[in-house]
Amino acid sequence: MPKGLIVQKFGGSSVANVERIQNVARRVASYRKKGYDLVVVVSALGDTTDELIELANKINTAPSEREMDMLLSTGEQISVALLAMAIHKLGYEAISFTGAQVGIITDASHTRARIIKINADKIKEELKDGKIVIVAGFQGVTMEQDITTLGRGGSDLTAVALAKELCADECEIYTDVDGIYTTDPRIEPRARKIKKITFDEMLEMASLGAQVMQARSIEVAKKFNVPIHVRSSFSDNPGTMITKEVKRMEDVVVSAVTLNRGEAKITICNVPDEPGVAAKIFGELARAGVNVDMIVQNVSHTRQTDISFTVTKPELSKALKITRKVGRAIKAGEVLRDEDIARVSVVGVGMKSHPGVAAKMFEVLAYNKINIEMISTSDISISCIIQRKFVEKAVKALHDKFGLGK
């Protein structure tokens, strides 16, 4: 009798060369030997995707998104074929499939398609046949048989969606780090690996700059309650479990401190304090596809106010241009930019019932003489924009004061 079904996902760095592909094959085979049914989702080898994008850009700086998907989907197709061969070499039965072949049906939004449904019959059939099923991550197909890709973090999404569709017992995401940490270990060496974390906390961390998994896959995992195990493809140590609820021994208020240095701040000064003004500014930005993150507007005591917001650095110049245009139209004042900022956040489901967290965070920053430029809060996180040069100091101090260290 099979012990259960595991969906395993291996990222590009886990299959970057022949040796690593063989390493993945050995891991998959060892699970098979233990009696598990296995569906393995693989990303493109190492930097293949980036190399293909570069090649495309040499030919056309604005390539058709449909053709881009046609091109990029080859990366995962190469990976699955090679992994199948490596598993065969170890004496186990395996069969590889493209996204199209296993019926991962998406909409037609090329380069960022959304999964509509999965016809998992083929996978079920092959599993029944005793085979390890290897599926190309990151890709799907429209009802019209056009190949699509799912955008950044797409292979994680493939794994989570398959785990849901197949009612898998576990979904393992193998990566080059061995789990989720209380903060970035490159900044704070005393950072601890988190054993268990909730979907909500992970979602906050993903959107606040933790780069292990994309928010989108976690959202889907949360929606369908698919437990995820994030772990390293280079060791056998358990990683971090992401689940719906986490029963913790102690009353942990804050689970992690995150940071993000990838944003810039725009301030539009002396905005007339009239209804509809914010809608005009952010409506224009949205129409141009600019993703605005934090927005702060103070209550105004005069007839004018300042509005500040953050965008990712690659979108800064586009956002500035639009903001200046709208600024002139609504007769606002100067538009300022600041790229030397960083965001530091504390995350934890525990803070819902502990109103003192924000105050404590501000105290820690003040004690360290770090000025807070913007504040934003959610149910389970508090974020502050500070000067970029203070970010390491802030992370270490918060990590220490909230008791996250080893």
Shortest approach of a copy of itself to residue 212 CB, angstroms?
Answer: 28
Shortest approach of a copy of itself to residue 160 CB, angstroms?
Answer: 24
Nearer to a copy of itself, 83 or 361 (CB): 83
Nearer to a copy of itself, 22 or 378 (CB): 22
Q: Rounded to an integer, what is the distance from CA 180 to the centroid of its chain?
A: 12
Q: Quick one: which of 318, 293, 254, 268 has its CA closest to 385?
A: 293
Angle (nearest 5°) at CA 234 between 231 and 235: 70
Nearer to a copy of itself, 135 or 206 (CB): 135
Nearer to a copy of itself, 87 or 342 (CB): 87
Nearer to a copy of itself, 25 or 160 (CB): 25
Question: Rounded CA gap, 391 and 369, in Å?
Answer: 12
Contact residues toward a copy of itself (CB under 8 A) are 18, 21-22, 52, 55-56, 58-60, 63-64, 66-68, 70-71, 73-74, 77-78, 80-82, 84-86, 88-89, 95-96, 98, 100-101, 145-147
Structural tokens at position 382: 């508090």
Question: Rounded CA gap, 310 and 292, in Å?
Answer: 6
What are the phi and psi torsion angles at 47 (to 5°)?
Answer: -95, 15
CB 237 within 8 A of CB 177: no
Question: Rounded CA gap, 142 and 115, in Å?
Answer: 9
Shortest approach of a copy of itself to residue 128 CB, angstroms?
Answer: 16
Determine whether 226 is exposed, middle or buried from the number of CB atoms within 10 Å of its CB (0-12, 13-18, 19+): buried
Question: Rounded CA gap, 397 and 406, in Å?
Answer: 14
What are the phi and psi torsion angles at 366 (to 5°)?
Answer: -65, -45
Determine whether 60 is exposed, middle or buried from the number of CB atoms within 10 Å of its CB (0-12, 13-18, 19+): exposed
Contacts of 377 (CB under 8 A, 6+ apart): 358, 383
Q: How many CA atoms lie within 13 A of 18 on its CB side?
A: 1
CB 132 within 8 A of CB 32: yes
Structural tokens at position 130: 């005793």
Shortest approach of a copy of itself to residue 22 CB, angstroms?
Answer: 7
Shortest approach of a copy of itself to residue 71 CB, angstroms?
Answer: 4
DSSP 8-state secondary structure symbol assigned to residue 137: T
Shortest approach of a copy of itself to residue 49 CB, angstroms?
Answer: 12
- Coil/strand/helix, residue 146: coil
Nearer to a copy of itself, 102 or 351 (CB): 102
Please state at what angle helix 18-33 crosses helix 65-89, rounded to 10 degrees: 60
Shortest approach of a copy of itself to residue 113 CB, angstroms?
Answer: 16
Shortest approach of a copy of itself to residue 318 CB, angstroms?
Answer: 23
Shortest approach of a copy of itself to residue 154 CB, angstroms?
Answer: 17
Nearer to a copy of itself, 141 or 206 (CB): 141
Shortest approach of a copy of itself to residue 146 CB, angstroms?
Answer: 8
Nearer to a copy of itself, 10 or 181 (CB): 10
Nearer to a copy of itself, 83 or 285 (CB): 83
Question: Rounded CA gap, 29 and 237, in Å?
Answer: 17
DSSP 8-state secondary structure symbol assigned to residue 298: P
Q: Quick one: which of 74, 182, 200, 85 has its CA closest to 398?
A: 182
Query: How many other C-beta atoms can be found within 10 angstroms of the C-beta atom of residue 394?
Result: 24
Shortest approach of a copy of itself to residue 325 CB, angstroms?
Answer: 30
Nearer to a copy of itself, 147 or 197 (CB): 147
Nearer to a copy of itself, 78 or 269 (CB): 78
